[in-house]
Amino acid sequence: MISRRDFLNVSAATALATGLGSGLGRAAAAQKITQDDLLKFEAKGQVTLLHNTDCHAQLKPVYFREPSINLGVGEAKGLPPHLTGGAFLERFGLKPETLDAYALTSENFTALAKNYGRVGGMDRMATLINAIRAERDGKVLFLDGGDTLHGSYTALQTGGGDMVKIMNAMKCEAITGHWEFTLGAERVKQVAEELECPFLASNVFDNEWEEEVFEHTKFFERGGVKVAVIGQAFPYTPIANPRWMIPTWSFGIREELVQKRVEAARSEGAELVVLLSHNGFDVDRKLASRVKGIDVVLTAHTHDAIPEPVKVGDTLLIASGSHGKFLSRLDVEVTNGRMSGYEYRLIPVLADAITPDPELKKLIGEIRAPYESHLTTELGRTETLLYRRGNFNGTFDDLICQAMLEEREADLSFSPGTRWGASVLPGQPITWEDVYNMTAITYPNCYRIDMTGENLKLVLEDVADNLFNTDPYYQQGGDMVRVGGLGYTIDINQPIGKRISNMTLLKNGKPVDASHTYKVAGWASINEGVEGPPIWDVVAKYIKRNKVIDLAPNQSINVIGA
């Protein structure tokens, strides 16, 4: 992978042996790609930046399907990361039915997953990081982009404490955040103290005192180069997540402040300036075009995996995927106080090809031990590939929506368009862990309320504008809200208020009446005091009752302008 120059030869050779007609299984595919192949790299310069982000507390290897639909609008239309499938492979000169295709697209995902196996695992990630540190003694800086202390059952039960232990063991050197803030203000401050690296969030301020809540910049010396790392937490946290959990903190992009931080870092002698960002790719692309002096933006939040840096002016944007699936390695050469050259590789963390780090493997076992029996309990099995990513729906979200419709006796259901959650292959059991990987949040109550047809449309219009506003600074992250029992048409190129039409209640085929009241089930409300059972119990009850999940393709949403 994902260095087209070094690794494409390995991928092409593997394609000959592991094409869909070969009949070779996972072990055979893994033997074709070794740990040394994954680590192969032509070192350059004085500094090596390693970046992992959006792992969502996945300690063990998982399956994770990339989206088949990831639409861009405005100036981002048709540009990475808004390319998928064959278009993505063509853009980057990658071959179908290879490790590249498996890791970076949804093309033939199920078949390739059976060949190449799971990805990620913090013990595998540690192996890669330690090997690169040994190779580049004194030149490596390992940074984490956030959404690290959230997304699994163990993270939920320990208030992120499991991942604090992992990050400390991996010797992470700086981290920023987003979903971490849904642990609540007090717990986030505790976490920042427990971490053995700075929690950098230059854009988070206390409303009462107008003071910075966290450290904003950390200086490092690597290979004789002074490196400044500026942290940028998710700017829309109080909008996308419950404000009541962080009532006295303000966020925002704060473009002028970012420029000020960069200039201050340069004035203090920084020769390499890195923005450790959780803004999202399109926001960072715009920010990099307007803020001068940033050498590298390590972007996060939108879970994009791009095998080459995207250059904006003199700034490199690095997108490292999610769920521990990739480790980015960027070697930087600095001359006369400025970045003068680089080499990059997006390394796939192919679990079967990497020897787990013994220390991390032991630690993961200890963390999971109290919960292992519960997590591995089977609820049913699936005949359908279950996944989340996609602009408008994912099959696991379809399952969640259907569960709410039936278990909460609703006319229609809403599920948030979050991006995190591992995939489950057809024929596999669905365990409690699979459900938690999609639902483990601190505000999980599944509500049941009355809404008029008019209000339903307003909700859809509001979320659609969040996703398809042509100005990236008005895109607040996430995908389109998932719906159950409802069909509609969306024209992504229309302005707010005119994107949604033809809303139809699927159970009777009738148009949604603006004045009629409907029973609506949903979860993850940002309002305080929401009542209802936790969503994982609702989904588990549905799976156990049905025993086998076999979902028909969701064809209830008609997209115009894609």
Q: What is the mean pLDDT of each run of 10 residues along the chain (562 residues)?
A: 40 36 48 91 98 98 97 94 96 95 97 96 98 98 98 98 98 98 98 98 94 97 98 96 97 98 98 98 98 98 98 98 98 96 98 97 98 98 96 96 98 96 98 98 98 98 95 89 98 96 97 98 97 98 98 93 84
Can you give the residue range of the structural domain that contains 250? Answer: 34-63+117-367
Report pTM: 0.94
Does residue 131 share a domain with residue 197? yes
User: Which pLDDT value is given to residue 20?
Assistant: 32
Total of domains in the chain: 2
Does residue 295 share a domain with residue 424? no
pLDDT tens digits, 253-276: 999 999 999 999 999 999 999 999
Does residue 181 share a domain with residue 133? yes
Does residue 413 share a domain with residue 353? no
Q: Domain holding 542: CATH number?
A: 3.90.780.10
- Within a domain: residue 4? no
Distance between CA atoms of residues 302 and 86, nearest Å: 20
User: Which pLDDT value is given to residue 3?
Assistant: 43
pLDDT tens digits, 268-299: 999 999 999 999 999 999 999 999 999 999 99
- Within a domain: residue 23? no
User: Which pLDDT value is given to residue 209?
Assistant: 85
User: Which pLDDT value is given to residue 208?
Assistant: 86
Distance between CA atoms of residues 79 and 293, nearest Å: 24
Distance between CA atoms of residues 398 and 421, nearest Å: 13
User: Which pLDDT value is given to residue 9?
Assistant: 38
For residue 67, whether the previous peptide bond is cis, meaning omega lies within 30 degrees of 0, is no
CA angle 246, 146, 47 (to 5 degrees): 140
3-state SS of 94-119 is CCCCCHHHHHHCCCCHHHHHHHHCCE
- Per DSSP, the residues of 168-220 read HHTT--EE--SGGGGG-HHHHHHHHHHSSS-BB-TT-EETTTTEESSB-EEEE
Decide the pairing of beta strands 500-505 and 486-491: antiparallel
Does residue 442 share a domain with residue 539? yes
User: Which pLDDT value is given to residue 26?
Assistant: 60
User: Which pLDDT value is given to residue 458?
Assistant: 97
